[in-house]
Copies of this chain bind each other. A is one copy, B any other.
């Protein structure tokens, strides 16, 4: 098979135009069970490459059998169609293939990232001590917040490992990544307390404070509260302002998981759903869930940039040559 970018760009255009037409007239692909797929589409990998015609035919068959999860006719949780300008950005990024590690290899793309992060930071109400990054998804954004909270409590964990029991809190309507992340970070799934929600899916403040006090009495260390802006099933928003007060009182890191609903910050009418957000320690949202950006476009903001550095900064002189302290 040829390695010819212009030829393959042509093929891309041909396939995608057919696909977009098909999407209009046939909004749902025919379901093929996993047991039957190999009979219908020959996906096994041969030792020898396919000839161009067979390759093209197979590719079209594969694409037409894939669920059309980005069309406006696809109804499932967490999908939001596509905005063509975001798609354009992602297509260009494929060709540029820029690694964002340093200014020397990414140039102005670094400024694009910084500008977006600073603009959102201002919108949230964070000061210029804030920072942010684009993690690989919502679960990873939440993971980074857990690690920062853990290292803030005791930076020696980063160096010498976990040695005491830390307790995290989240509502029983929150995302499944919270327990997973506790296991990854050496905290342990069983050290996540699931707090009852009210009948609208919001965390119950009184139960939360009771649990925190109980844990302190037991000699354990509360360190992290995950609040949710937009729970998966009910789309509930935890009461940020009240949680800020509790977290200040007990010196607990407050993370606002807005993977699903956090983009209300862009709406004048809905922003009040996250009132108090300027006081949370970290906040994330997924532009691929509610803003029409392609998978995955995740944003993590941190009230104090220094915690990003404390947990994630790493020297690698042999690999990264930076321009100056900031770039």
- Asked if A70 and B85 make an inter-chain contact with CB atoms under 8 angstroms apart, the answer reads no
* Chain B residues in 8 Å Cβ range of A316: 176
Given that A95-B19, A176-B319, A314-B176 are known contacts, is A112 also in contact with B62, CB under 8 Å in the complex? yes
Interface flag for A270 (CB, 8 Å): no
- Segment of A159-167, A203-211, A237-245, A277-285 in the binding face: A159-167
Chain B neighbourhood of A151, CB < 8 A: 183
Assess the A99–B295 pair: CB atoms within 8 A.
yes
From 75 to 123 in chain A, residues with beta carbon under 8 angstroms from any chain B beta carbon are 76-77, 82-85, 87-88, 90-92, 94-99, 103-112, 115-116, 119
Task: Tell whether, in the assembled complex, residue A158 and residue B176 are in contact, meaning their CB atoms are under 8 Å apart.
Answer: no
Supposing A16-B9, A88-B11 touch, asked if A161 and B157 sit within 8 A by C-beta, the answer is no
Main secondary structure of the interface of A (DSSP, over half): helix
* Cβ–Cβ contact A188 & B158, under 8 A: yes
Contacts of A4 in B (CB 8 A): 84
CA distance A183 to B3 in the complex (A): 42
CA distance in complex: A5, B83 (Å): 8
Given A37-B108, A176-B319, the answer on whether A158 and B189 have CB atoms closer than 8 Å is: yes
CB-contacts of A114-169 with B (<8 A): 115-116, 119, 136-137, 140, 147, 150-151, 157-163, 165-166
Q: Let me know if A8 is at the binding interface, CB within 8 A.
A: yes
Q: How far is the CB of A104 from chain B (nearest CB, A)?
A: 7
* Contact of A186 with B by CB under 8 A: yes
Q: Which residues of B contact A66 (CB under 8 A)?
A: 96, 98, 106-109
Q: What does the 1/0 interface line of A6-20 toward B look like (CB < 8 Å)?
A: 111101110111011
A10 CB to closest chain B CB, in angstroms? 9
**Beta-carbon contact of A159 and B232 below 8 Å:** no
Tell which of B76, B107, B176 touches A65, judged by Cβ atoms closer than 8 Å. Answer: B107
B-side contacts of A44, CB under 8 Å: 115
Which residues between 2 and 47 of chain A lie within 8 Å of chain B, taking CB atoms?
Answer: 2-9, 11-13, 15-17, 19-20, 29, 31-34, 37-38, 41, 43-45
Inter-chain contact A190/B16, CB cutoff 8 Å? no
Q: A8 contacts which of B84, B115, B179 (Cβ < 8 Å)?
A: B84
Complex CA–CA separation, A237 to B32 (angstroms) = 44
Indicate if A216 sits at the interface (CB-CB under 8 A).
Answer: no
Cα A7 to Cα B191 with chains together (Å): 52
Among A151, A185, A323, find the residue whose CB has the most chain B CB atoms closer than 10 A: A185
* Contacts A12-B92, A44-B115 known; 14 new A-B pairs at CB < 8 A: A1-B85, A2-B84, A8-B85, A9-B17, A34-B103, A37-B107, A43-B111, A65-B107, A67-B98, A98-B295, A147-B184, A159-B189, A162-B188, A233-B318
18 A–B contacts, CB within 8 A, in A order? A3-B292, A9-B17, A9-B88, A12-B91, A16-B95, A34-B110, A38-B111, A59-B92, A66-B96, A66-B108, A67-B107, A91-B91, A159-B189, A160-B191, A161-B182, A162-B163, A176-B315, A233-B318
| Minimum-distance CB pairs A-B, first 4 | A186-B186, A161-B188, A162-B162, A162-B186
